[in-house]
Amino acid sequence: MPTNRRTFIRQSALATAGTGLLGSMTTPVWGSRTNPPASEKINVALIGCRNMGFGILKHHLSNPEVKCVALCDIDENVLNEKAADVKKNHNQSPKLYRDFRKVLEQKDIDAVIIGTPDHWHCLIMVTALQAGKHVYVEKPMANTIAECDIMVKAANYYKKTVQVGQQQRSGFLFQKANELVKSGKIGKLRKVNIWANFEYGTGPAIVPDEPVPAGVDYDMWLGPAPKRPYNKNRFHGSWRHFWDYGGGLQSDWGVHLLDMGLWTKDILQAPPKTLVYAANTYGQERARETPDSMTISFPKEDFVINYEVTAGLQRGPWDMTYGIAFVGNDATLVCDRSKLMVYPEWDNNARKARAEEYKFTEGKESHGEHVRNFLDCIKSRNRPASPPEVGRAAAMHAHIANIAARTGESFLLWDEENRRFTNSEAANRLITPEYRAPWKLPVV
DSSP string, 59-83: HHHTSTTEEEEEEE-SBHHHHHHHH
Strand partners, 105: none
DSSP string, 157-221: HHT--EEES-GGGGSHHHHHHHHHHHTTTT-SEEEEEEEEEEGGGG-PBP----PPPTTB-HHHH
Q: At what angle do helices 145-158 and 121-130 cross, to 10 degrees?
A: 10
Nearer to ligand NAD, 119 or 300 (CB): 119
DSSP collapsed to 3 states, 159-174? CCCEEECCHHHHCHHH
Region near ligand NAD per CB under 6 A, out of 48-56, 206-214, 257-265, 403-411 = 48-56
- Regarding 163 and contact with ligand NAD (CB under 6 A), the answer is no
Closest approach of Cβ 106 to ligand NAD, in Å?
14
Strands 66-72 and 95-97 turn out to be parallel
Region near ligand NAD per CB under 6 A, out of 1-9, 60-68, 235-243, 326-334 = 235-243
Nearer to ligand NAD, 57 or 181 (CB): 57
- Regarding 221 and contact with ligand NAD (CB under 6 A), the answer is yes
Contact by Cβ (8 Å): 72, 99: yes
| 74, 135, 257, 342: which one binds ligand NAD (CB under 6 A) | 74
| 12, 44, 59, 75: which one binds ligand NAD (CB under 6 A) | 75
- Regarding 409 and contact with ligand NAD (CB under 6 A), the answer is no
| 78, 113, 126, 154: which one binds ligand NAD (CB under 6 A) | 78
How far apart, in whole angstroms, are the C-alpha atoms of residue 251 and residue 242?
12
Please state whether the peptide bond connecting residue 37 to the residue before it is cis, i.e. omega within 30 degrees of 0.
no
Strands 304-311 and 322-328 turn out to be unpaired
| Count of residues in contact with ligand NAD, rule CB under 6 A | 29
- Regarding 149 and contact with ligand NAD (CB under 6 A), the answer is no
- Regarding 220 and contact with ligand NAD (CB under 6 A), the answer is yes
CA separation (Å) from 116 to 48, 50, 359, 440? 4, 8, 37, 18
- Regarding 176 and contact with ligand NAD (CB under 6 A), the answer is no
Nearer to ligand NAD, 74 or 162 (CB): 74
- Regarding 391 and contact with ligand NAD (CB under 6 A), the answer is no
Region near ligand NAD per CB under 6 A, out of 3-11, 232-240, 306-314, 389-397 = 232-240
Closest approach of Cβ 271 to ligand NAD, in Å?
21
Closest approach of Cβ 17 to ligand NAD, in Å?
11
- Regarding 258 and contact with ligand NAD (CB under 6 A), the answer is no
DSSP string, 376-400: HHHHH-PPPSS-HHHHHHHHHHHHH
Nearer to ligand NAD, 165 or 344 (CB): 165
Supply the DSSP symbol for 424: -
| 28, 36, 53, 323: which one binds ligand NAD (CB under 6 A) | 53
Region near ligand NAD per CB under 6 A, out of 63-71, 234-242, 306-314, 321-329 = 234-242
Closest approach of Cβ 379 to ligand NAD, in Å?
23
- Regarding 167 and contact with ligand NAD (CB under 6 A), the answer is yes
| 15, 44, 45, 49: which one binds ligand NAD (CB under 6 A) | 49
How far apart, in whole angstroms, are the C-alpha atoms of residue 120 and residue 135?
14
| 14, 17, 47, 262: which one binds ligand NAD (CB under 6 A) | 47
* Radius of gyration for the alpha carbons in the chain, expressed in angstroms and rounded: 22
Burial level of 76, CB count in 10 A (0-12/13-18/19+)?
middle
How far apart, in whole angstroms, are the C-alpha atoms of residue 411 and residue 417?
19
- Regarding 420 and contact with ligand NAD (CB under 6 A), the answer is no
429: CB partners within 8 A, 6+ apart: none
- Regarding 307 and contact with ligand NAD (CB under 6 A), the answer is no
Nearer to ligand NAD, 52 or 313 (CB): 52
CB atoms within 10 A of CB 8: 16
| 13, 66, 122, 138: which one binds ligand NAD (CB under 6 A) | 138
Nearer to ligand NAD, 53 or 261 (CB): 53
Closest approach of Cβ 128 to ligand NAD, in Å?
12
φ/ψ of residue 185, rounded to 5: -65, -20
**Binding interface with ligand NAD (CB under 6 A):** 47-53, 72-75, 78, 100, 115-118, 120, 138-139, 165, 167, 220-221, 223, 236-237, 239, 252
